[in-house]
Structure 1
């Protein structure tokens, strides 16, 4: 039986769209008077904004990619030990980046030697030095020289960092793991589970429900005795990633049997089921990203499965790929794309108010158009980086 182990173009398309939306909604935070339905729901609100669907989609895409990446590695001759090490290395990189970026958010004007924006700029550039894919013809000493510069910069930033208040300063600590850190935990957990379980659908589905249960228990008062069994610290968020793993394994199985179109129809049929289940569980915390509620998890999983069914039909079955050509780099060197806005933001803040956009351009629908244009330009810049072979290995 033949199975697809190559990179699926539909997943790249889904990832590219999601990454562009992530940059868009992150930039919207800086705007004024934009429609509520585009933004994150506020704490205590029982609703779903567009921004609340983006991070779940990205976690789901991480899961979609796991079986393909591991199988592709095996086809290239990677041993199980090599695969295991790759999972640990990639997870560690995401956790380190998330850890530093979260502490930037807590940076104060204490006795540190650099400003918060200087800290953000230095650590982000250091990430590139440490995890850049260096040219194959570079000697090993030169690669490690540049990596060493990046590592030294991160160590120096850790030593001079001050958070908290001037009266009660504190060093680096895990306030929360940040977007990249949470992705790292979910990837670590679900990649290791797939590494052990393989394509056994019943077990993979069990773990999707297992992670969903953490969210349900958290809103029934029965969470405390199970909180240490979350297999990685991400709790219910891992349900998104495991849902992606299950989806790819099912899609591969149907494609291997020559039933790709039927497989996508079955996935589409699951969309209303997942969304309906989400609304049935709405009494347990409502639809709330900030609460990682079961309703939010199931509704967003349903949306992501629907996107797979639509994009799989358009891109994989019908072979139509040119429509997302300009934004494709966001789906292939995604982490590079994600970090570029931080460099842009830090530089603008360091330059001061003189380069700040007028309030009129940051307000209402004009602000929305500005943020959409900004996201598109970042993706185009990512394409330039891709052509120059500047990409991170994570």
Structure 2
């Protein structure tokens, strides 16, 4: 029997494992002779690997986390929706900024690409580190001011290698941007609906149907304004976060009302139906494809995410087994910081003459390197938390 909880540790555990896997699959993505099932499949391939399910899981967790996050925030007029908009805008801006690294012109810009990237991340840390424990407010503003000045300097010197767009320009929203858009939709829906479960279900179905209709060509009449309707993607990103919101709402309802048996049966059956439905849809809607955000990919990944979270509920909330998460717990508690640290290393590494030994640049050695690197990143995050360094948006 589960007692009513204010914070579900299963979400922290699920987030930690997902973040660990995200760092790992990204680190070994370009290493040859590693198991293909770990990687993203090619854009023209009908199928998916482990890496193709990681980002959907992260968006799913965004939705899972919203009810608890709102419960701990004071309701003061429109402070919550303003916080949602501010937080989303910050994520969208930084996602947009970091995608411009892909077209950075190192030859004509004052500093090389790697240096520009890690300085941009440092500016983010200066601006958004949690300074609540500082005794002197002026020191907080001084450090944030350094971050703003550094950011403005980097924006001023940026040059693109795209002749049609010599400065910062839009290519895609980036990982942070997509998270920001998904969070904006799902969090505002949750807030203005008062958390009513049936509205969350309706919104989730609406986004999933919008994604399906887009791939069936039924939304073509909206093509001139279509980008402005979803603002990011074709409804798939929002569908994942809304699915997480639905599961979070149903779970808390089941805990508080003593309906856990119905919860287990409903989620298990619905997840299996979603996966089955996804495979049925595949042939007529572009197959399983993360690159094209197909309905089959959305349905299959949603089912996988829900079943995976059921496992974490059973292990962490019911069996009270959380200690196994401790070695990677920081990835679930300071996720944004953990997400940014690999790019600090990669961008710095790019500016040096260092290289990995051949032993860890291929096959099994590369996988082992990826595992070690991922643990080191998570432990570096834990160390920063220990010395009270934490990003807060």
TM-score between both structures, scaled by the size of structure 2? 0.94
Please list every run of 5 or more consecutive structure 1 residues that lacks an aligned counterpart in the other structure. Answer: none
Q: Which residue of 1 aligns with 2:210?
A: 214
Deviation for aligned residue 1:216: 1.4
Tell me how far apart the structure 2 counterparts of residues 325 and 344 of structure 1 sit (CA, whole Å): 24
- Secondary structure of residue in 2 paired with 1:281: helix
Alpha carbons 1:340, 1:378 under 8 Å: kept: yes
Tell me how far apart the structure 2 counterparts of residues 359 and 145 of structure 1 sit (CA, whole Å): 45
1:135-154 correspondence to structure 2 within 5 Å = 135-154=132-151
Tell me how far apart the structure 2 counterparts of residues 261 and 312 of structure 1 sit (CA, whole Å): 13
- Secondary structure of residue in 2 paired with 1:213: helix
Tell me how far apart the structure 2 counterparts of residues 373 and 137 of structure 1 sit (CA, whole Å): 34
1:62-118 CA-partner distances (Å, limit 9, x unpaired): 000011111221xxx332422122212211221121111111122123421111101
More off after superposition, 286-295 vs 28-37: 28-37
Report the count of equivalent residues: 387
Q: Which residue of 2 aligns with 1:295?
A: 296
Instruction: Say yes or no: does 1:361 pair with 2:357.
Output: no
1:183-211 CA-partner distances (Å, limit 9, x unpaired): 00000111011111123222211111211
Equivalent residue for 1:177, pick from 173, 179, 198: 173
Deviation for aligned residue 1:228: 4.7
Deviation for aligned residue 1:261: 5.2
1:214-250 CA-partner distances (Å, limit 9, x unpaired): 3212222233334256444243211000000000000
Tell me how far apart the structure 2 counterparts of residues 178 and 102 of structure 1 sit (CA, whole Å): 6
Alpha carbons 1:99, 1:174 under 8 Å: kept: yes
Give RMSD over aligned pairs: 1.8
1:58-77 correspondence to structure 2 within 5 Å = 58-73=58-73, 77=74
1:48-67 CA-partner distances (Å, limit 9, x unpaired): 10000000000000000011
Q: 1:178 to 1:259 in 2, by over 3 A?
A: same
Q: Which residue of 2 aligns with 1:384?
A: 383
Instruction: Say yes or no: does 1:244 pair with 2:244.
Output: yes
Alpha carbons 2:134, 2:140 under 8 Å: kept: no
1:341-360 correspondence to structure 2 within 5 Å = 341-352=342-353, 355-360=354-359
1:1-394 correspondence to structure 2 within 5 Å = 4=4, 6-73=6-73, 77-165=74-162, 170-226=166-222, 227-228=226-227, 230-234=229-233, 235-260=235-260, 262-283=262-283, 284-352=285-353, 355-394=354-393
Please list every run of 5 or more consecutive structure 2 residues that lacks an aligned counterpart in the other structure. Answer: none
Tell me how far apart the structure 1 counterparts of residues 244 and 221 of structure 2 sit (CA, whole Å): 28
More off after superposition, 232-241 vs 172-181: 232-241
Tell me how far apart the structure 2 counterparts of residues 287 and 187 of structure 1 sit (CA, whole Å): 24
Deviation for aligned residue 1:4: 4.6
Tell me how far apart the structure 2 counterparts of residues 196 and 42 of structure 1 sit (CA, whole Å): 40
